[in-house]
Amino acid sequence: MRHSPLLARLPGPALAIAALLLLVANLWSGSLVNSDDAIYASMAQGAFERAEWFDLRWHGAVLHEKPPMFFWLVAGMGALFGFNDFAVRLPGALAGFGVLLLVVSVARRLGYGRDRALFAAALCLASGCFFFTARRVMTDMPLLFWGLLSLDQWLAGRQKPRRLLLWGAALGAAVLTKWLAALPFVLLVVADGLCDGRGAFWRHRATRGWLLAGAAVALLIAAPWHVRQMLVHGAEFWRVYFGYHVIERATGGLVEASSPLYYLVGARHREGALLLLWGGGAGVLVHRLVVRRGRDSGAWWLLAWLAITLVPIHLAGTRLYHYLLPAVPALSLLVARALPEPRTAPARRLLMGFGLAFLALTFISNNGRDWAWPDYSAGTRQLAPELAALSDGAVVAVINDYDVAATWYSGRPVPLWTTSPDLARAWSVDMMVRAGAVELFTPEELRKRLAGAGEIALLAPEVLLAELRTLVRGAGRPAPRVARAQDKVLLITLPSRGRLGSDG
């Protein structure tokens, strides 16, 4: 694909600004995803308020699942803009923008023309997996940014070995963001040497020195925190950090067991027509390389990238759709590489016009709702003023519902109470257990707990309202005040007069 007059009229900075605006627009609206997003936001805020930068806490307990770099970034944004939904979402969106720039840079280093490189970045932006993850409070997009930066600097190191220092720095930052999840970017460096004869630059004495220096930089960035945690927390740190978070999650499901076709089914729903384009691009390149016996080392490397990222997530016991994220740039680069080269100017304009229309429609179809109104915990967020108005000594709990966003929006630890052993078992992953965030009661134990407390606020789905009224009445408490928002209710009840008198 030669330089297109259609894109030539659009300077690179204008395209970059448009992508940035799409990524950050409406981040101040709606509410966080009721998942790790809300937990990580609370952890970053707590780290900032306590100035405790090495031990990350939630509900007062130190959680060893993640390294600290992402939480430092979120805390930094909170310090600048206040701890609100916009500030905690911003690091992911900025990392996503950085990934788009790096896709263009990697493509150019692989020999792509300007238009092909921009098309690959635009394909990433149109992806539902990419766009949704970029606007979440998650470690995955910052990890991808650091990982792609390491690959970009590795490729640059072919001509300028000093760039291997930046390769090491980016790799160290990737490890400090999501530790072993950075391993694919190390394997891709090995794959580069296997797929490309230029990998022989490793063997040059001067280059080996820079390579060792880059590896030392990576260790200097990533090792100190790990050594500190090992010295302070001992075996418990490694039991959680490696034993639970890596081994148990890889061999057993963190969530319900899913089909081996989980990612394909998810992509069909989340990516739409983009899935067909990805599959077609990969198929075209495989045909060129295998059937026609092509010698495109860059294409072999991109296929290795796909294998390195896709095989482990399909074999792992825990399958979550955002694990697909590191494969999205590889798929997009494959498609851009597989595009035919138009031979005439009218054909180039037609292909480019079709491509832009396809990208716009795909982006709207995949991401329109999430872009316009990213609201995922609406009821809990709307009840935040009621939660904030409660006294400091009030007991606040979520009843028979998984609502970790309540802790973020109330600004206080809110445990999950349940009378269902099945729900307690499903919610009791390692971090929830250590944080004491899940409590299982029998109905009688719950009535006693309510009867013996002062001011109580119970947050639950609206369908449980009648059941909660009965529970409060059975605990001998006065009729509660009820606040409603979306599908949530908040019951606030003071102790009985007799209870007030005995406390006074």
For 381-411, the pLDDT digits (tens) are: 999 999 988 988 899 999 999 999 999 999 9
List the structure tokens of 18: 């448009």
pLDDT value at residue 318: 83
What does the alpha-carbon distance between residue 330 and residue 282 come to, in Å, rounded to a whole number?
A: 10
Q: What average pLDDT does this structure show over 196-218?
A: 76
Average pLDDT, the chain: 88
Q: Write down the residue that tokens 């060792």 correspond to.
A: 212
Q: Which of 82, 98, 90 is nearest to 37 (CA)?
A: 90
If you average pLDDT over residues 227-232, what whole number do you get?
A: 96
Residue 292 has pLDDT above 90, yes or no: no
Ordered by start, the domain boundaries in the chain are 10-372, 378-503
| Helix runs in 248-344, H state only | 249-251, 262-271, 273-286, 297-315, 327-338
pLDDT of residue 503: 40
Residue 370 and residue 22: Cα distance in Å, rounded?
A: 11
3-state secondary structure string, 425-489? HHHCCHHHHHCCCEEECCHHHHHHHHHCCCCEEEEEEHHHHHHHHHHHHHCCCCCCEEEEECCEE
| Mean pLDDT across 436-445 | 91
pLDDT of residue 453: 76
Is the CB of residue 155 less than 8 Å from the CB of residue 107?
no
Q: What is the predicted pLDDT for the residue at 345?
A: 75
Distance CA(45)–CA(74), nearest Å, equals 8
Q: What is the mean pLDDT of residues 341-363?
A: 82
Backbone angles phi, psi at 419, to 5 degrees: -105, 10
Please report, for residues 168, 311, 324, 351, 464, the alpha-carbon distance to residue 319 in angstroms, rounded to integers and kept in the order given. Answer: 30, 12, 9, 37, 31
Cα 406 to Cα 42, 416, 437, 461, 472: the distances in Å are 10, 10, 12, 12, 21
Q: Label the pairing between strands 61-62 and 395-399.
A: unpaired
pLDDT classification of 209: cutoffs 50, 70, 90: confident
- Residue 493: name the closest of 451, 456, 454, 463 by CA: 456
> What are φ and ψ of residue 136, in 5° steps?
-105, 165
H/E stretch holding 417 reads: strand 416-418
* Percent of the chain residues past pLDDT 70, beyond the cut: 92
pLDDT, residue 195, reads 67
List the single range of 175-184, 294-303, 440-449 with lowest mean pLDDT: 294-303
d(CA 266, CA 132): 13
pLDDT, tens digit, 9 for 90 and up, residues 240-263: 899 887 888 777 766 655 688 899
Residue 10 has pLDDT above 90, yes or no: no
Topology of 378-503 in CATH? Rossmann fold (3.40.50)
Residue 398: which residues within 8 A CB-CB, separation 6 or more? Answer: 406, 414, 415, 416, 417, 458, 459, 460
* CA gap 189, 325 in Å, rounded: 19
With cut-offs at 50, 70 and 90, classify the pLDDT of residue 501: very low
Identify the bridge partners of residue 396 per DSSP, sorted by sequence position: 457
**In the chain, what's the furthest Cα-to-Cα distance?**
90
Q: How many beta carbons lie within 10 A of that of residue 501, not counting itself?
A: 9
Q: How far is CA 158 from the centre of its chain?
A: 31
Nearest Cα to Cα of residue 124 among 158, 146, 81, 95: 95
Most confident stretch, 218-222, 288-292, 312-316, 347-351: 218-222
Among 361, 434, 466, 479, smallest CA distance to 57 is for 434
pLDDT band at 202 (very low <50, low <70, confident <90, very high): low
Which structure tokens are listed for 425?
Answer: 């078992």
* Distance in angstroms (rounded) separating the CA atoms of residues 97 and 19: 7
Give the separation between CA 240 and CA 33, rounded to whole angstroms.
24
Alpha-carbon distance 8 to 387, whole Å? Answer: 54
Neighbouring C-alpha atoms within 13 Å toward the C-beta of 236 = 11
Q: Give residue 267's pLDDT band: very low, low, confident or very high (50, 70, 90).
A: very high
Query: 42 in helix, strand or coil?
Result: helix
CA atoms of 169 and 453, how far apart (whole Å): 53
* Alpha-carbon distance values, 332 to 55, 86, 304, 371 (Å): 38, 28, 14, 21
Give yes or no for a contact between 461 and 469, defined as CB atoms under 8 angstroms apart. Answer: no
